[in-house]
Amino acid sequence: MKQKITLIALLLSLTAVAQKPFDQYSFEAEYGFNVSGNPTIMDFAHWGVSFRYMMERDWGIKFDFAKDEFTDADGGTNYTRVSVQVVNNLGRTLNSMTMNGDKLGMLAHGGIGWSSLTSNSHPGTDNILHVIIGLTPQYKLTDSFAIYVDAAYIANFTQHFTYDGFYPNGTGTKEAFTGSMINASVGISYYFGKGGPGQTGILTRASQEKRKTTNRKTSLYN
């Protein structure tokens, strides 16, 4: 329990890099497929929702909820997770997004959370601590909406059921292992607050230079 509290405190402390409030918010919804590790099961049965708060243009935090289903000929499982993650505007950090005006952007995210895994073949619920990392390319549609593609890798600690709903190699319920899975999804973001998609995540080198030029011109009249 102390380790979980320490990890959460460490994650939250990373958000203190913000110098002043940026106050941009977004809701996100996505749908896609999942791939499990050992045994490998692929299903087009992933969906998730999240809320993201950007405290400045480069850094933010998001809370997400997602569900996955893994179906196998002999059984299957249902996977539910909640996570808290740090978000970085990777396009600005690397200063590398230079194409298509100010339409494109890239976010990186990572954090920890809690998962539950239930088997279609055995009773009980597998309670799991997980770590998640991912990348999210975005494309701006309007000042309030953007579409995105997200790829995320999840490592599950203290997992007991395999994704087909059985215990590995006939072991008992106390034999924990580290499992993994991948989510790939398409989603839409709705932005509100001080800035839309063009204010974070979708901010290219060209738009940065444009803003610098505008600021210099404005300063001549002040």
* 132 compared with 199, residue with greater pLDDT: 132
Task: Say what the pLDDT of residue 109 is.
Answer: 98
pTM above 0.85, yes or no: no
Q: What is the DSSP string of 95-121?
A: T---STTTTEEEEEEEEEEEEEEEESS
CB of 173 within 8 A of CB of 74?
Answer: no
Question: Does the pLDDT value for residue 23 go beyond 70?
Answer: no
The mean pLDDT value for 15-33 works out to 74
Would you tell me how many other CB atoms lie within 10 Å of the CB of residue 64? Answer: 21
Q: What is the CATH number of the domain that holds 215?
A: 2.40.160.20
Task: Say what the pLDDT of residue 193 is.
Answer: 77
Task: Say what the pLDDT of residue 206 is.
Answer: 46
Amino acid at 177: F
Question: Does the pLDDT value for residue 98 go beyond 50?
Answer: no
Domain count, the chain: 1
- The residue range of the domain holding 34 is 2-219
- The percent of residues above 70 in pLDDT, for the chain, comes to 72
The confidence band for 147, taking pLDDT boundaries of 50, 70 and 90, is very high
pLDDT digits (tens, 9 = 90+) for 156-189: 998 999 999 888 876 566 678 999 999 999 999 9
The mean pLDDT value for 131-157 works out to 96
For 200, the 3-state DSSP assignment is coil
Least confident of 39-53, 85-99, 113-127, 201-215: 201-215
